[in-house]
Structure 1
């Protein structure tokens, strides 16, 4: 007998999704009123639990750190991995603060802004600014500040948990940011914003789909890296900076805007991608524990390596 595929049966799987989304949204709303020191204390509890109970997060984090910092002892990498998961936990707990908290309170939590003159100077010269915003510290605080102080456009991909889309979108757009899709239409919107001498945000460390990137070294290991940046620079002559919101545990955030590696301006995509990764590396050195090491940055493997007899040793995940 064929299973019943009526509309009532199809709708039932959505109920858990709506329940999950509602619970997550409710939690963000509740946590939005918590002070940052209290959120940090909670992260100090949750981080070690994730390290202990989540094999996936622990394994990916430790393997990434072993690849990036081979000179560290196993004990040192373990400590760094635990602290990294504390910071990642803090970022998740702070989403309500960034998206739903009182704007004046969020602004007051940004205790310093270093390098803003790079943004101001570019606009004074009639140039747009491309902000490379890696998964470091709390990038949602960076989005809050940028969209509050500059005309700001960023690409946006809806979450896998679809019912959360309006919550996240509203949180990111509430200070004036314009979110555009991750497709040709979105790229066109970024180009228009840059030609208007505005700021746009790009995630430089998110692995693109095949055909949208090249392999470039990231901490001396090949990582598949997007090539959108050189295309934008070539057509707009925009200035490129790296921007992060460095967490000062229990105190607030310090924004840093750094000049990107000069290679990002190259017409050669591989050279530009190398400059992008070097720019991310420079930011990570501010506080290695604040980078999201649980992301599988080296997931794609160079095709030639797949045919190598020692292929397994090239794989991390």
Structure 2
């Protein structure tokens, strides 16, 4: 923890420089990571230049985390973050509509939540879904570092889902990673870059049960520690109103199509090494799966 706190005081430009090297070191040392990154990027038709860039960007994401958790203030985030096309988001908040905010494993997705809090938290707090670390000490540190007065955290569990439902019913916002693999029974197999991927149904269920508006935020990391740009956008088409199996599959497909469009807008910042196609335990696995996605 001493080392993490010391690193958190480094300038963002230095953190990103060191993080870029860290990303390449992990790539060199892990054959499994190299294979998964290559397979996932090939499925999406991503050029080699963007794939190489994503290796360094993943390291920068790790390196900036101590700064974000321990040092960054709301004033820092207001100063370092520029917003693009926030009009629909601003209108929804002005109308006090509950919001489901989707952010893929792309760029500085944790910065997106903090930047939302810095700009809109006093108007409409956001509850963020997260997966707790297994180690107790790390889990406690993670919870303490992420917690903010207008950004409570909810664990990826039934209790966390109930917490998010309560927030939406109070006309607040919730944030989650729609490309995170859910536990068995909490998702459906939907296409993601042409490959079956177990996709959460939680985002659609939250909007259906509360009438929330669903929006997308992508946080772009600028070069050499210059800051961040948050791009706000909408789903490619509205989610269905039904709750039957066919509607859940349609909703998951719409969300995946939206994520594909967002990711391909800047593929060099997506975490292609993330095990997106991992099947949950005890799940029935579709026969059509690319080699390398075990």
Q: Shared fold (TM-score greater than 0.5)?
A: yes
- Map Cα deviations across residues 191-215 of structure 1 (whole Å, 9 max, x no partner): 2211222110011001111111111
Q: What SS does structure 2 have at the residue aligned with 1:262? A: coil
Distance 1:108 1:125, change over 3 A: closer
Distance 1:263 1:32, change over 3 A: same
2:275 corresponding residue in structure 1: 296
- Map Cα deviations across residues 14-66 of structure 1 (whole Å, 9 max, x no partner): xxxxxxxxxxx333322222222212221232222222222122111011111
1:27 corresponding residue in structure 2: 3
- Map Cα deviations across residues 49-104 of structure 1 (whole Å, 9 max, x no partner): 222222122111011111221xx6xxx43x43332120010000000111111413
Counterparts of 1:102 and 1:207, CA distance in 2 = 29
1:129–1:194 CA contact under 8 A, matched in 2: yes
2:84–2:231 CA contact under 8 A, matched in 1: yes
Per the TM alignment, residue 305 of structure 1 is displaced from its structure 2 partner at its CA by 4.1
Counterparts of 1:255 and 1:228, CA distance in 2 = 24
2:259 corresponding residue in structure 1: 280
- 1:42-53 matches, within 5 Å, as 42-53=18-29
Counterparts of 1:266 and 1:257, CA distance in 2 = 23
1:62 corresponding residue in structure 2: 38
Q: Pick one of 77, 83, 103 that aligns with 2:53.
A: 83
1:263–1:271 CA contact under 8 A, matched in 2: no
Per the TM alignment, residue 266 of structure 1 is displaced from its structure 2 partner at its CA by 4.4
2:236–2:258 CA contact under 8 A, matched in 1: yes
Structure having greater relative contact order (Cα 8 Å, sep ≥ 6): 2
2:196–2:289 CA contact under 8 A, matched in 1: no
Unaligned runs of 5+ in 1: 1-24
Per the TM alignment, residue 304 of structure 1 is displaced from its structure 2 partner at its CA by 6.9
- Map Cα deviations across residues 122-168 of structure 1 (whole Å, 9 max, x no partner): 13333101000111101111121123322111223211232112221
Which has the higher Rg, Structure 1 or Structure 2?
1
Q: Pick one of 208, 211, 230 that aligns with 1:255.
A: 230
1:182 corresponding residue in structure 2: 156
Distance 1:175 1:56, change over 3 A: farther
TM-score (norm 1): 0.82
Counterparts of 2:166 and 2:284, CA distance in 1 = 36
Per the TM alignment, residue 313 of structure 1 is displaced from its structure 2 partner at its CA by 5.5
Counterparts of 1:246 and 1:93, CA distance in 2 = 15
Is the counterpart of residue 153 in structure 1 residue 127 in structure 2? yes
- 1:124-273 matches, within 5 Å, as 124-148=94-118, 149-150=120-121, 151-174=125-148, 176-250=150-224, 251-267=226-242, 268-273=247-252
Counterparts of 1:304 and 1:292, CA distance in 2 = 23
1:263–1:274 CA contact under 8 A, matched in 2: no
1:99–1:172 CA contact under 8 A, matched in 2: yes
Distance 1:174 1:48, change over 3 A: same
Counterparts of 2:96 and 2:111, CA distance in 1 = 26
Unaligned runs of 5+ in 2: none
- 1:98-137 matches, within 5 Å, as 98-103=68-73, 104-110=75-81, 112-137=82-107
TM-score (norm 2): 0.88
